[in-house]
Amino acid sequence: MPNHISNRALSSLKWMVMGLGLMLALSACGGIQTTPYEQPKDRNDSGSFITGKDKAGISLDDILNPRSSGSGSMPVNALLWRAALDTVSVIPIDDIDTFGGTILTEWYPHPEQANQRIKIAVFILDRELRADAIRVQVYVQQYQNNAWTDTGIDGDFARKMEDLILTRAREIRSANVGNAQ
């Protein structure tokens, strides 16, 4: 009988050694002392570049206790919110965040360019009806080589959308003032 270990026994031995090594490695991690990460208090950032919200944002207390947030209503301007929904309603909506004040549309054919499509992101930044309380980003893709490729942001179209939303918000406010009398 030859003096060698069968392949089956060798495979079982490998698994046992790996298992023992894994158990030793995991048990060694138990004694590590960690401290939670604390964000530096002297940071001076203007907020999220993704959502456009300022760094204060919305606290859980704003949602659970509406009286403590001041007006007891939406955390964004209701007129701007409704005007933004009215304005972009011609394009299918992809995502809406009422508390964050964000509206994101699906890709839609560009109204001025046949080989381009756009995606609109609307950010309502404040509770006041002001021009700087709304920001619109219009992302553009171009069809070339049988594929859609990102080509950037259309700033002019975004400004037109902001103007349309502000105009619609003023119309809604005027209609409500007329009805209240």
The region of weakest confidence among 55-59, 127-131, 150-154 is: 55-59
Is pLDDT larger for residue 4 or for residue 123? 123
The answer as to whether 17 is a domain residue is: no
Average pLDDT rounded to a whole number, residues 41-52: 48
Give the whole-number percent of the chain exceeding pLDDT 70. Answer: 68
- Inter-residue contact 64 to 99 (CB < 8 Å): no
CB 151 within 8 A of CB 141: yes
CATH (domain of 151): 3.30.530
Report the share of the chain in percent with pLDDT over 90. Answer: 37
Count of residues in the chain: 181
**47 falls within a domain:** no
Residue 63 has pLDDT above 80, yes or no: no
Residue 13 lies in a domain: no
Average pLDDT of span 105-117: 88
* Number of domain units in the chain: 1
Q: Per the structure block, which two tokens stand in for 25?
A: 């490695």
